[in-house]
Chains A and B, each alone.
Chain A
Amino acid sequence: MTGGWRRRLLAGCVALAAVAAGSGCATIPTGSPAEFEEGVQGDPLRKPYVRMIAIPPRPEWGPAQVLEGFLAAMAAVDDPGWSVARRYLTGDAARSWRPNVRVTVYDKGVIKPPGQLPDNAREARVTLQGTRVGAINDEGKYSAELEPQGGLIQEFKLVKEPTGWRIGEVPHGLLLTEADIRRSYRKVKLYYLDSTKRGLVVDEVRVPLDPKIDFAESIVRRLLKGPTATLREAVRNALPAGTRLRGVWTEDDKVIVDLNEAAANAISSGGGDDVDAMAAQIGWTLNQLTERWEVEIRVNGDPYYASSGTPLRVGYDRYGHFDPWLTGGVRDTYVMANGALHTVGAEGKLTPVAGQAGQPGEAHIDPAVAAQGRTVAALNADGDAIEVAPLAQGGQWRRWITGENLTAPSWDRYDTVWTVARVGERSSRVYRHDGTRQVRVAAAGLETVGVQNLRVARDGVRVAAVVEDQAGVHVKVGIIMVQASGTQIVNLQTLATAADGQKIVDIAWRDATTLLVLTSSKSGQEIIAVSVTDGTSEPFKADARIDSITAFEDRIIAGVMDPEEGKSEVLYWDSKGAWVPLLKNPATSPALPLG
């Protein structure tokens, strides 16, 4: 029968197809090239972290354990009202305690228990001893104790209640250990703009981890709140008041920052520069988490279309180069050799600079090179004038600032030279010269002390000075406030104080927030890197003969004067953590642009 034959053929085909399809589904195909594309590189906004979780006190705990539990409960970040911590307190204390005002940070904490208590004890006193190392104020700024000392931190009175021991008195604010701070807070740099809105100024705060929102969101919210009090008068914020953050998330290797309409108004009225400035602020601030990701700014959830018609996306190549002084990079190193200024080339080869500065002649000391590397300023041999020479063919020394016993010159990023005239032992005048004229700068904190050195930071806002007053020698940091009425140095705060017998030899800005301080004492030279934002410091090993330093980011260069041999040398701090000669020839006064 033909029909039967056809049916059998059909059945065979169906069975074959089924087997083929089944085998195709059941195994992973081999042999064919597998394709993939570079996808999202994880989510940099979500870094792993550890939280303390507060637990309520247990009835069987003694006074010391209750205090320990309370100290731990204060560190619990996901309990915003500290409701669990309050359960360690008596009713009155819980009601009156205000934890939000400040954070006191201590280390080496020891709880001294009250000793053997009688069974019917109703009260106990427990002390917390340790070292106060710093404090975080209500705007998140950390300030380290200048001279941390061990001792009593707080005495607590505990009361026996039916449910167990409770703390009867507690000071306002939180008491956290350094470990708690490491666990629950992150050091975050906030980027604002200088007075010309062309450079970025770094502010640094401690932001608590909030498990409810992304840390990136916490950071941007903090950025929108504005700078801390010390910087507030000197910096600008391209993000206008009223800007609120709606969310931060990642999408296809992009960070999306969703702002409310206040941002759009500012962008459209401010024009392109403000957009760049705003993107730079957000980009640099988020760059701490994301590292060179593209940032897209949206307004109320919709892509914001700038005048070009494309969504407002800012890649690292745009916001990253907004301020060239933040990115480091290769800069010429200058040294004085044989009374002339030289640049250091590859393998320590010295090349004299163009112009008069590169020719041996009238002695100039303490050279400082301006931002573009086209101008040098130096103190003349008598120390009564700052002379400036262009580093170009035929460039001649010209006298810019004259004064009595001037300090070494320092350039700011706007090609202005700063110096201090020391008119008396406790009397100083700060001068600046912007290329047209010499101006005296009001600096209330510097005029009644002896200023040994003054360096303007590369951000053009911060200024560091070594001053001597009745209490000793200090390193002070202030800010330059530019106003229509004039420029002045304000908000001077002591960053470090020389100990007895210690001398502050030199200071140099390493980056926007780190100041290198070179001290010498009988025990030897010491370099410490001090964070000007929170006062924390990190020591460097120093060569005993170093007498001057200059730095830019990772490049730290020191001038050495060997008094015994009378030989001078220039060293640099290599990546392995040792001082290595930079040059074969003798040279002095190493200098990097600005700083």
Chain B
Amino acid sequence: MQILRGVRRRARRLAGRVRRAQQRSLQLRVVTSTLVISVTVVAVLGFFLMQQFTTTVVQGRVAAAGKDALADRTAIVGQLNEQTADPDDQGAGGSGDPRQSATDLPIDRAATALANRAGESSRYTVIIRNLTIPGAYRATNEIDPRSIPTKLEHDLRDAEPNEPIPQLTSSLYHIGDPEPQPGLVIGVRVDNGYEIFHFFPLTEEAELLSSVRQALVVVGIALVLLLAAIASLVTRQVVTPVRLARQAAERLAAGRLEERLQVRGEDDLARLAASFNEMAANLALKIHQLEELSQVQRQFVSDVSHELRTPLTTVRMAADLLYEAREGFDASAARAAELMQAQLERFESMLADLLEISRYDAGAATLDIDSVDVRNVVLRAVADSEALGEKQGTRFDLRLPSEPCMAEIDSRRVERILRNLLFNAIEHGEGKEIVVTVGADRDAVAVAVRDHGVGLRPGEENMVFDRFWRADPSRARTIGGTGLGLAISREDAMLHGGWLQAWGSPGEGSQFRLSLPRAAGSELKGSPLSLVPPEIEMRRTWRGHVTPALTAGPGDRVLDGGVS
């Protein structure tokens, strides 16, 4: 049972492997279908050919045998009739009875004549019999009376006299040979009650047919193999260039834009290669153009930011002067000076952010790595944000592990990330409690910042990291974020080889999780904290609902993929 199951399992595995191989290889598929079709065709053709041949051979033999049997019958009847001339005399005495002469009995003479006609090679054997007369039963050579088919005996009893009945049989028995042979039996009942059976062995015909069948099988197998080989060869001619094209496309996709195909001849495949090459060339050109364009844009932003700084410094100095002297102004002018001061500050920080982000775009950002305790970084960031939090009436809930969480990070950037997250949480937290959790495992550390504000709508988890994105464009920025904070944070996280992800649900608030590898440069495989806050997860499990948790799952995976 176990073995059977093992065999079945192995067979299934093999079938699966074959199916997979077939799906992968066009050539194999073509060869397989050619094999199947040609086997069918050859089998059907061979069957009909064999049948035709058998019919021809056997019919020829039957016709020849029938002629022999008919010729013999005439001879025998003549000889047997001598005996039936006076049937009353049988055994009754009288010297005139031929049975009592010194010469052979008529039946013996007839049988001997037949045996001699059949010849030494024993083309056929004969049985002459009359079961109603004692001793009137002769056979020639080794033929066994068992060879008379019972059906033929019955048929003869009912048939007209002198009407030969042929029957093909597979059992001619010969004395001294236990194996029956195939043969033909022709039986005839002649007028005086005698039955004559001719036995024609068809051994030679059977051998001929068997050798023909062997030849057919060999030729058929050879033909099928040949067809398969031809199909394989032909397919290879088509498949090889296609395979080359695929490999070239793969390399092209991997960024090697200089990849081209060799063009040989003028056929369809050559034209395919030419088109491919043309496409690759166009693609490379477009990509190059786009890259240049993007480079120009980035340069422009960087240049603009730099150029704006000098006038801004001047404006700032003038504004500071005005601001400090505001008490001497009238109320509206003072208000204007204050406003200008505030907006200038914001402008400055925006300009700083723009410069920072343009550094990222230019690939100029570098890490200043140091092994630090993440808890301290978190505490510093929280401390920086406390003032703003108090202003909004927001309370922080820190959930830090008791052991140090050491990681190789650029603490300035990580602090900036956390500060951005906390500012973001305060801005959207609607004054409710903000939970900051730190988790660590062997490979990674993570910080989650949870607010209980309006939350995020489905699909916004990624958009929050876009530059200048805002959930509700009508809403004003209360704290005065630049709109670039989260984008920079994400760039920072990626620079560390970490992830910055968001979760949010309308009415439930949102959570941002920063996951970083403990060792710089190592790949991040998972996060010690879950993206969805544990209480939400638990609630969903209790309800038996699955939807949002799992929609977060794929989102999670997409983000993972995007980062890794």
Q: A: which residues have CB within 8 A of B?
A: 3, 42-44, 46-55, 57-58, 61, 64-66, 68-69, 71-73, 78, 107-113, 178-179, 182-183, 211-213
Contacts and interface: CB of A to CB of B under 8 A. Distances in A.
A52 B139 CA distance: 6
B91 A64 contact: yes
A50 B111 contact: yes
A67 to B, nearest CB: 8
B104 A179 contact: yes
9 contacts: A44-B120, A48-B115, A48-B119, A55-B137, A57-B134, A61-B134, A108-B101, A182-B104, A211-B141
A72 B135 contact: yes
Given A47-B120, A51-B138, A179 B93 contact: no
Contacts of A73: 135
Top-6 shortest CB links A-B: A72-B135, A69-B134, A48-B115, A212-B176, A211-B175, A50-B111
B46 to A, nearest CB: 15
A110 B140 contact: no
Nearest to A45: B120
A68 B135 contact: yes
A43 B123 CA distance: 13
A55 B131 CA distance: 8
B91 A113 contact: yes
Interface in B104-136: 104-105, 108, 111-112, 115-116, 118-122, 127, 129, 131-132, 134-136
B104 A71 contact: no
Given A47-B120, A48-B120, A52-B135, A179 B141 contact: no
Most chain A CB neighbours (cut-off 10 Å) among B102, B135, B136, B142: B135
B88 interface: no
Given A108-B102, A178-B102, A213-B176, A53 B138 contact: yes
Given A108-B100, A110-B100, A48 B134 contact: no
Interface in B247-277: 267
Interface in B172-190: 175-176
Contacts of A212: 175-176
* Number of chain B interface residues as a range: 35 or more
B267 A53 contact: no
A50 B134 contact: no
Contacts of A178: 102
B75 to A, nearest CB: 15
A212 B131 CA distance: 24
Contacts of A44: 120
A245 to B, nearest CB: 15
B92 interface: yes
Contacts of B112: 50
A179 to B, nearest CB: 5
A110 B260 CA distance: 114
Contacts of B116: 48
Interface in B74-106: 91-93, 100-105
A183 B176 contact: no
B145 A53 contact: yes
B141 A113 contact: no
Contacts of B137: 52-55, 72
A53 B100 contact: no
A43 B122 CA distance: 10
B93 A110 contact: yes
Contacts, number: 96
Contacts of B127: 53
Given A55-B131, A64-B91, A183 B108 contact: yes
A179 B106 CA distance: 11
A77 to B, nearest CB: 10
B141 A49 contact: yes
Nearest to A64: B91
Nearest to B177: A212
A42 B121 contact: yes
Nearest to B117: A48
Contacts of B136: 72
Contacts of B102: 107-108, 178
Contacts of A66: 134
A42 B134 CA distance: 36
Interface string B129-165: 1011011111111100100000000000000000000
B108 A50 contact: yes
Contact of A49 (B92, B140, B145): B140
Given A46-B120, A109-B100, A53 B139 contact: yes
Contacts of A51: 138-141
B108 A65 contact: no
Contact of B122 (A46, A53, A61): A46
B93 A112 contact: yes
B85 to A, nearest CB: 19
Contacts of B176: 211-213
B115 A111 contact: no
Nearest to B115: A48
A47 B122 CA distance: 8
A54 B131 CA distance: 10
B99 to A, nearest CB: 9
Nearest to B101: A108
Contacts of B142: 211
Most chain A CB neighbours (cut-off 10 Å) among B104, B127, B140, B267: B104
Interface in B329-378: none
Contacts of B141: 46, 48-49, 51, 211
A53 B129 contact: yes
B222 to A, nearest CB: 14
B132 to A, nearest CB: 7
Contacts of A57: 134
A286 to B, nearest CB: 16
B134 A72 contact: yes
A184 B137 CA distance: 14
Nearest to A44: B120
B135 A69 contact: yes
Given A211-B142, A211-B175, A49 B104 contact: no
Contacts of B115: 48-50
B507 to A, nearest CB: 71
Nearest to B120: A42
A3 B267 contact: yes
Nearest to B105: A179
A50 B140 CA distance: 4
B153 to A, nearest CB: 14
Contact of A43 (B120, B134, B175): B120
Contacts of A183: 104, 108
B554 to A, nearest CB: 51
A42 B120 CA distance: 7
A42 B115 CA distance: 15
A87 B175 CA distance: 22
Contacts of A113: 91-93
A43 to B, nearest CB: 7
A66 B135 CA distance: 10
A65 B120 contact: no
A57 B132 CA distance: 10
A48 B122 contact: yes
A85 to B, nearest CB: 11
B267 A68 contact: no
A149 to B, nearest CB: 15
A113 B176 CA distance: 39
A69 B138 CA distance: 13
Contacts of B111: 50
Contacts of B120: 42-44, 46-48
Contacts of B267: 3
Contact of A179 (B108, B121, B122): B108
Interface string B64-82: 0000000000000000000
Contacts of A213: 176
A52 B100 CA distance: 17
A51 B142 CA distance: 8
Nearest to A182: B104
Contacts of A65: 91, 134
A69 B175 CA distance: 22
A73 B129 CA distance: 14
